[in-house]
């Protein structure tokens, strides 16, 4: 590391007021999701910021008024040096009218060493810190040999996976950092998938026929879909407990892999026997599992449950998994993300963090989910690393420590510089020596 980059990292503290003002500027863009469809102004601001720093810009609508922005800064020696994606989401958690904020959540204030405003922790602080690091490099005329790709995406709060759209558009790199809320831990994550389980009769029945389908001699082979769904729910609980006993993952408490029966819908009105019932479930699974395997396990188990019931045997449940949006089609997928602690970029981020903060880095797993799983699923080694504490995210009077923001900005600045100066052949040469 050169003396100039050391001095640049140290300058972050002297310019923290500018950094704080930058976070405040991003918070002032009102981008809650839901309702979503409100990020264009903020994304134009980021696109213009990156363009002024020498980035080429790719901006496209994922949904109307909700565009993704990808800034690309080609390295001076792209073929020889490592490339990096910095990723973050511009949308923030929704705000209800009855929440008691000290101030307007989109007019941020600074008090007692923290920034208060919606999105401070999740995750406009992370976006601002990474963008400020880019600004400092640009001001000093430092040209990176490796490619740097900055992704400001939409829809993370409602499962709309703007990051997946970036992957589908072909953006890739040797490593990616999602600068989302992690309290400066270097993290992987489990995965989440939602699903709908539907039980449906091919016939409808008047409520006065109920006696015929539940008492001896009724001679009507029919059932309430709502009542049959209770057997499905019981089967899900049995599988959930089985997972808790048979599965585990370091860093997670036992039983973190859960199946939540979140919403149930069924029946027409009181004069009908319920001919249809739909159950909306949310499934959390471990970093070393895929949503495809989890779907298979649930469907196999529930279909066995159905075979044990005379009516469900002839009316097996139907499954719908995932979705593109909690707003549009009421579904989402967040793939899991498993960290390889021996990966050169992970080791570099650990050493960078320790050099800046003068304390050991913590490599663990996030108890929540981010878009990082989409990058990993696209074959890009990825970590979550950003400022902010999870218990402040989504909260009333959401806040971010200025000290933590400064530390993050220093660390990510140094990491961007060092990783982009890492020779692509370095690992290959080490392996050849072994």
Q: How many CB atoms lie within 10 A of CB 308?
A: 10
Whether 366 and 344 map to the same domain: the answer is yes
The arithmetic mean of pLDDT across residues 420-434, rounded, is 65
156 tagged catalytic: yes
Does a structural domain hold residue 362? yes
Give residue 430's pLDDT.
41
Does a structural domain hold residue 389? yes
Does a structural domain hold residue 332? no
pLDDT at 426 over 70: no
Whether 77 and 159 map to the same domain: the answer is yes
91 tagged catalytic: yes
pLDDT tens for residues 220-242? 999 999 999 999 999 999 999 99
H helix intervals, 261-398: 291-307, 310-314, 344-357, 372-377
Give the whole-number percent of the chain exceeding pLDDT 90: 97
Whether 195 and 260 map to the same domain: the answer is yes
Give residue 1's pLDDT.
45
Whether 311 and 168 map to the same domain: the answer is no
CATH assignment of the domain containing 171: 3.40.630.10
Catalytic residue among 40, 91, 174, 183: 91
pTM recorded for the entire structure: 0.94
The arithmetic mean of pLDDT across residues 323-352, rounded, is 96
Residues 6+ apart with CB under 8 A from 187: 339, 363, 364, 365, 366, 383, 384, 385
Query: Could you give the dihedral angle defined by the CA atoms of residues 43, 412, 367 and 365, in that order, rounded to the nearest 10 degrees?
Result: 140
pLDDT at 308 over 90: yes
Whether 241 and 376 map to the same domain: the answer is no
Whether 292 and 359 map to the same domain: the answer is no
pLDDT tens for residues 71-123? 999 999 999 999 999 999 999 999 999 999 999 999 999 999 999 999 999 99
Helix (H) or strand (E) holding 125: helix 125-139
Catalytic residue among 40, 122, 156, 332: 156
Does a structural domain hold residue 326? no
The arithmetic mean of pLDDT across residues 319-326, rounded, is 96
Does a structural domain hold residue 386? yes
Whether 261 and 179 map to the same domain: the answer is no
Q: Which of 321, 354, 376 is the last residue of a domain?
A: 321
Does a structural domain hold residue 329? no
pLDDT at 269 over 70: yes
Structural domain of 344: 3-189+337-433
Does a structural domain hold residue 16? yes
In total, how many domains does the chain have?
Answer: 2
Whether 142 and 168 map to the same domain: the answer is yes
pLDDT tens for residues 150-162? 999 999 999 999 9
């Amino acid at each position: 590391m050169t003396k100039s980059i050391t001095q640049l990292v140290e300058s972050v503290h002297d310019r923290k007021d500018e950094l704080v003002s930058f976070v405040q500027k991003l918070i002032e863009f009102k981008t809650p999701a839901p309702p979503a469809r409100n990020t264009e102004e903020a994304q134009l601001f980021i696109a213009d910021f990156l363009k002024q720093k020498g980035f080429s810009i790719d901006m496209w609508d994922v949904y109307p008024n909700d565009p993704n922005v990808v800034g690309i800064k080609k390295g001076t020696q792209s073929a020889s040096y490592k490339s990096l994606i910095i990723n973050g989401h511009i949308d923030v958690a929704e705000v209800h009218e009855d929440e008691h904020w000290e101030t307007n959540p989109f007019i941020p204030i600074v008090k007692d060493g923290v920034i208060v405003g919606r999105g401070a922790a999740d995750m406009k602080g992370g976006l601002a810190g990474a963008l400020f690091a880019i600004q400092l490099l640009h001001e000093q005329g430092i040209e990176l040999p490796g490619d740097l790709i900055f992704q400001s995406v939409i829809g993370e709060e409602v499962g709309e996976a703007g990051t997946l759209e970036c992957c589908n558009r072909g953006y890739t790199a040797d490593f990616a950092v999602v600068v989302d809320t992690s309290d400066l831990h270097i993290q992987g994550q489990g995965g989440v998938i939602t699903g709908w389980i539907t039980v449906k009769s091919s016939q409808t029945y008047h409520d006065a026929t109920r006696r015929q389908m539940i008492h001896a001699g009724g001679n009507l082979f029919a059932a309430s879909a709502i009542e049959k769904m209770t057997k499905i729910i019981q089967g899900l609980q049995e599988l959930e407990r089985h997972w808790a006993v048979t599965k585990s993952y370091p860093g997670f408490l036992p039983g973190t892999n859960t199946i939540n029966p979140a919403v149930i819908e069924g029946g027409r009105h009181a004069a009908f026997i319920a001919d249809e019932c739909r159950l909306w479930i949310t499934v959390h699974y471990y970093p070393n599992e895929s949503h495809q395997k989890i779907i298979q396990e649930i469907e196999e188990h529930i279909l066995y449950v159905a075979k044990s019931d005379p009516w469900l045997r002839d009316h097996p449940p139907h499954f719908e998994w995932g979705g593109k949006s909690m707003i549009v089609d009421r579904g989402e997928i967040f793939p899991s993300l498993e960290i390889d602690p021996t990966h050169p970029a992970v080791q570099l981020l650990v050493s960078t963090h320790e050099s800046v903060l003068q304390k050991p880095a913590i490599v663990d797993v996030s108890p929540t989910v981010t878009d990082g799983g989409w990058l990993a699923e696209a074959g890009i080694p990825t970590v979550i690393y950003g400022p902010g504490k999870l218990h402040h995210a989504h909260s009333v009077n959401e806040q971010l420590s200025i000290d933590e923001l400064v530390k993050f900005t220093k660390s990510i600045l140094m990491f961007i510089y060092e990783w982009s100066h890492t020779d692509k052949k370095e690992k290959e040469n080490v392996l050849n020596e072994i």
